[in-house]
Amino acid sequence: MNRRLSVVSGTTRQAQKQRKQMDPTEQMAKTLLEDIRRYLPEATFFQREDLLHLPTFQSVATITRYARVCESVGYLLSTRRLVLLSRTDLCLPDKASQYEDEADLAGRYEQTVRRLLMRAGDDLTMPNLLRLWTSDPHLTLNSKRIALRENMKKLARTGFVVKDGFYGFRRANGA
Q: Answer yes or no: pTM beyond 0.85.
A: no
| CA-based R_g, the chain, Å | 22
Average pLDDT value for residue range 145-149: 90
Is residue 96 pLDDT above 50, yes or no? yes
Is residue 116 pLDDT above 70, yes or no? yes
> Which domain does 140 fall in, by range?
102-171
The confidence band for 5, taking pLDDT boundaries of 50, 70 and 90, is very low
Contacts of 157 (CB under 8 A, 6+ apart): none
> Of 1-15, 79-93, 132-146, which gets the smallest average pLDDT?
1-15
Query: CATH number for the domain including 117?
Result: 1.10.10
What region does 3 belong to: left with phi over 0, alpha with psi -120 to 50, or beta? alpha
Domain boundary among 98, 115, 139: 98
Is residue 101 pLDDT above 80, yes or no? no
Q: Which of 80, 108, 104, 105 is nearest to 94 (CA)?
A: 80
Q: Look at residue 43 and give its three-state secondary structure.
A: coil
Query: How far, in Å, CA of 39 to CA of 139, rounded?
Result: 12
Count of domains observed in the chain: 2
pLDDT at residue number 32 = 94
Asked if residue 129 lies in contact with residue 120, where contact means CB atoms within 8 angstroms, the answer is: yes
User: Please, is 153 exposed, middle or buried when counting C-beta atoms within 10 Å of its C-beta (0-12, 13-18, 19+)?
Assistant: middle
